[in-house]
Amino acid sequence: MTNQNPPSRDEFPGEFGPPAEPVRGYRPSGSQWAVAGLVLAFGCGALAYRLVKHEGQYQSAALYVGIPIVLALVLVLTAPAGRAAGMAMKVTTILLLLSVPVLGEGACCVLMAAPIFYLFVYLATASLDRYRTAGPDDRGPFLLIAPVMLVAMALEGTTPALTFPGAATTTATRTIDVPEDRVADALALPMRFDATPRTGILAIGFPVPRHDSGGLAVGDLRTIEFDGAHHRHGPIAQHHWGTHPSALVLRVAARTDRSVVFVPVSDTTPVATWLRWDRIEVSWRDAGAGRSEVRWQQHYTRLLSPSWYFGPIERFVTQRAGDYLIRAVDTRAPDPMQHAHHT
């Protein structure tokens, strides 16, 4: 009879090759961990944004410093040593690019926030990665100074005790082709927004002024209406601000032959989330040759933190806005009799 049982490996060891390696548990590669880290960073960044917005801290450094630190922490824990900083910069770039179609007309906010996002993503990633890769003997208390300072900076503006004073003043000065005794009549006319192009930073997504109405006598209201965002369809139909028009309403608080002072009554524009107007002083003097020098001074309170970053930005933007308003003054010769009731 023939043997029905097949020969075993032990009987003929040379016929079957070397013994098979024992099956080991699956371990993701470094590249797979990197991809997982990218996905996790996106999720944590979105969650952090939701939490910050829900707690009403979207004007504080918790948004502009805290979220970059969260992204850095996630990527440092998941990325291969020495590669976290590069991955963090890529993630930040992708997040900022994805936010542009979502925010639409609020793309100006992305442009203003991008430098501080990049800065703190890099600083936090580099600091945490250095601490992670340092040997046990090198992990002294000095390596923790940078992370602790970054966390402290992320808390600015979250409570009154951690909020720096935001009062500021900017001034714009320009000479217009109107005699000194006719400037008040020119200011009483509606601003020529449609005929005055917005240039530079004002043209990258800030609210667009459309109509101006009101008088120039003490107690009169002056209303500047702004366009709402254009309606969009599909998954990117969100807006940084609503589609409805908004308005800044000012009241004439004081008036002289060469100056007028406006104080705010209400502000429903998106600018109200960045700063609070305190008063606006407009004055003028003779510049010779039938021309006048107009000085537009704006007093406001900064609402965004950190102060060292948004303070200079808001000063620059408000100064440019003041210059734009002077350029928008109707310099066509007004009829003094037609506008006598304003004076």
Q: How far apart are CA 115 and CA 282, in angstroms?
A: 34
Measured in Å, how far apart are the chain's first and last C-alpha atoms?
128
Token pair belonging to 58? 């979207």
Q: How far apart are CA 322 and CA 202, in angstroms?
A: 11
Token pair belonging to 312? 């200079």
What are the pLDDT digits (tens) for 318-334? 999 999 999 999 998 55
Residues in the chain: 343
What does the H/E/C string look like for 122-175? HHHHHHHHHHHHCCHHHCCHHHHHHHHHHHHHHCCCCCHHHCCCCEEEEEEEEE
Backbone angles phi, psi at 165, to 5 degrees: -55, 140
Report which residue type is found at 108: C
Burial of 88 (0-12, 13-18, 19+ CB in 10 A): buried
Q: How far apart are CA 261 and CA 241, in angstroms?
A: 29
Contact predicate 328/301, CB 8 Å: no
CB atoms within 10 A of CB 213: 12
Residue 239's nearest CA partner among 284, 276, 265, 270 is 270
For 291, the enclosing helix (H) or strand (E) is: strand 291-302
- Give the pLDDT of residue 162: 85
pTM for the model stands at 0.73
- Give the pLDDT of residue 27: 60
Q: How far apart are CA 291 and CA 177, in angstroms?
A: 5
Residue 281's nearest CA partner among 303, 301, 302, 259 is 259
- Give the pLDDT of residue 105: 47
Low-confidence stretches of the chain (pLDDT beneath 50): 105, 231-239, 339, 341-343
- Give the pLDDT of residue 232: 47
